[in-house]
Structures are given as C-alpha cells and as structure tokens.
Amino acid sequence: MTRRKAIQDIIKIQSSTQNCGAKAYACSNIALIKYWGKRDITLNLPVTDSLSIGLNNYGATTIINPSKKQEHTWQLNNNNIAKNHAAYKRLCAFLDDIRPDAQTFYDISSNMNIPMAAGLASSACGFASLVKALNQYHAWQLPASKLSALARIGSGSACRSICNGFVHWHRGIDKNGYDSIGEALKLTWPELRIGLLCLETKPKPISSTKAMLQTQSTSDLYSAWPEQVKKSLPCLLQSIKEHDFKRFGEIAEHNALSMHALMLSARPAIIYSTSKTWENINKIHKLRSQGLAIYFTQDAGPNLKCLFLCKDQQDVTDNFPNMQVIKVFDD
Ligand code: PMV
C-alpha cells in the first residue's frame, strides 16, 4: 500500500469542494509514555501505545489558501521556507499525497507560538493543524479519529495533537493503521503544570525518526520496551484518574529515562543529554529529596519538561527562574 493510497482510503471522498480559505489550530503535546519505535515506517505505525498531554494554548495555527502558482508555498512564522529545505520537501510530499488531484496547489502559512528551540514537537502541532485546516478547506467533514490517522501519517506524534488534554495513542493492529489513532481521554487535572527548561538551542545531532530506527535495530535492550510500556501505561492512567501526583511523576520520569537508556544502548549510542541536562536532572532529584514534588520528562533532545502541581509553582520557579510554566487545563 502506498502512502497516497492509505491517505485517500482514510478520506474516502470522491469529490471535494474547495473553499477560498481555511484556518485551524492544534496544540503541541508532550508524551508521558513515549512513542519510541515504528512497526511501519511509511505510515508511522508505532510498536507500542503512548500517552500524552496537550499544551493547551501552545501550538500551531495553519492557514490554507489556493496557490496562484503551480506549486505549494509555505510560510512559517512569516518567513518563506525555501524549496530545497528538508522540512519543505517533507510538507510537500504530504500535500501531494493528501490533495484530491495533481492540479491542486496550496499556499500554507503556519504560525507557532511555542518556543521553537525547546523541543516541543513543532512537527506534531504543525501537521495536526494542517490536517484540520485541510479538512475545512475541502469540506471533508472527517471525524477526529480520521484526522488523527491522517496527522499520524504526516508525523507520528501529530495524531495526539488533534485534541487537547490527555490523549492515548492506540498502536492498533490493522496493517494499514486505520485503528492507530489518538483517543482524547475525558480526564482533567486543572492543578497540573508543565515547566519547560530550555537548556540548549543547537539543532539536535540526530532526528527522532533516525534515532528511533537506530535504537530499534541495534539495541539489545529494545525487546524489553514494549513489555515495559504495556505495564506502565495502565498505571499512569490510573494515577491520572486518582490525581496521584507522586505515582504519575514517577511513572513519567521512569519512562523517559528508560527511553534514553535504550538510546544509550544503541550502536552507535545516541546521546541527547548534555552536561546541562544532567545538572538539571540532579537538581530536580535533590529538590525532590528535600520534599518538593517535581518530576521531569525528556524527549529526543537535551531539554527537560518538568511536572509539578500549582501549589508548588512558586517554589519551583524560585529554583528555576528561567522556566516557562504552562497551565495545561483551563479551570
Ligand atoms: O513523532 P516524532 O517522529 O516526532 O517522534 C516523537 C518522539 C518523542 O517525542 C521522543 C516521543 C513522543 O512520544 O512524542
């Protein structure tokens, strides 16, 4: 099955109307149980389930208009993206697969209000908002589950950015991935806070896709990962339902460190953490030993995302003055 066929099978609409313009927003998301490993590279089908939290007002807005040229154009935060840029090529390949016919070209304008250097999965909210905007533009009227499947094909973790709040991405069993979608959980936790510790701004040494595949194909420890996720995810879910913050933080932190342990055991080893990352991890552990309830998670990069409750916000920010705090649920 080609990627275009998989996408068109999800949309399953013979003719689509074309509106004059469309605009849609999608929040960024941070995984608490990570997606690390693909069972299908073309369709971004994961080896395991994963679970994330949406970043509410932090994300991407995509505006689509018909292109007057015979090509797609892309502006990101008001800058034209050059046609030889890898991100432009990735976007166009997706647009070519999702457009109804070869005569359709789009002017895409994306605006992101997330700190771009903080490792906040800009591709996740970017692809999710793009798919939502395309749904409007062509009046497809697809349900969230289908939008999630389409976003996943654009960028795996984007399937968790179609909705806000806690999202469970089910790995699914279908070989074409129709059941590999993000499910919005009806759970809230208004006291929960995410604190971004942006420690490095250099581009990462290796992309998450490359790192994932390298881990999967070379780490002897990888075989233990699916089992670990299977055990941890229901426990995390339970901790969210019970608002058991200690358990929640412990599971999320353990999951992130385990993912990095897998990468360390890959050949060659993949090392995203820098001395600043370790310095801050040690600081978090020390504060915790002194009684402050703060935990962290870390993605494919050196920056940390801290987890804490609003009652501790003052203490946390006193210790980390450069931290950007995100309130993930409205009251
Ligand atoms: O969706 P991708 O290809 O950007 O991969 C995301 C990988 C992690 O951020 C490390 C984990 C996750 O589940 O978001």
Tokens of 130: 């793009």
Chain position carrying tokens 């040494």? 205
DSSP state, 323? Answer: P
User: Mean pLDDT across the chain, nearest whole number?
Assistant: 95
Tell which one of 299, 303, 304 to mutate to probe ligand 1, the residue whose CB is within 8 A of the most ligand atoms: 299
pLDDT above 80 (res 322): yes
Cβ contacts of 124 within 8 Å, gap of 6 or more: 28, 29, 155, 157, 158, 160, 161
Residue 291 Cα to ligand 1 midpoint, Å, equals 31
Mean pLDDT across 184-190: 97
Query: To the nearest whole percent, how much of the chain has pLDDT over 90?
Result: 91
Per-residue pLDDT band at 229 (split at 50, 70, 90) = very high
pLDDT band at 15 (very low <50, low <70, confident <90, very high): low
- Nearest-angstrom CA–CA distance, 328 and 312: 15
Per residue in 101-115, is it b (16+ CB within 10 Å) or e — as a string?
eeebbbbbbbbbebe
Atom 9 in ligand 1: residue holding the nearest Cα: 299
The Å distance, Cα 16 to ligand 1 centre, comes to 32
Structure confidence at residue 293 as a pLDDT band (50, 70, 90): very high
| Ligand 1 pocket test, candidate residues 131, 157, 170, most atoms within 8 A of CB | 157
Q: Is 175 left (phi over 0), alpha (psi -120 to 50) or beta?
A: alpha
pLDDT at 201: 81
Is the pLDDT at 227 greater than 60? The verdict is yes
120: nearest Cα among 259, 284, 297, 251 = 297
- Please check whether residue 50 is in contact with residue 236, taking contact to mean a CB–CB distance below 8 angstroms: no
Strand partners, 22: 64
Q: List the structure tokens of 210.
A: 């490359």
* Pocket lining for ligand 1, CB < 6 angstroms: 31, 34-35, 50, 121, 123-124, 155-157, 208-209, 299-300
State the Cα–Cα distance between residues 7 and 258, nearest whole angstrom. 33
Q: What is the pTM of this model?
A: 0.96
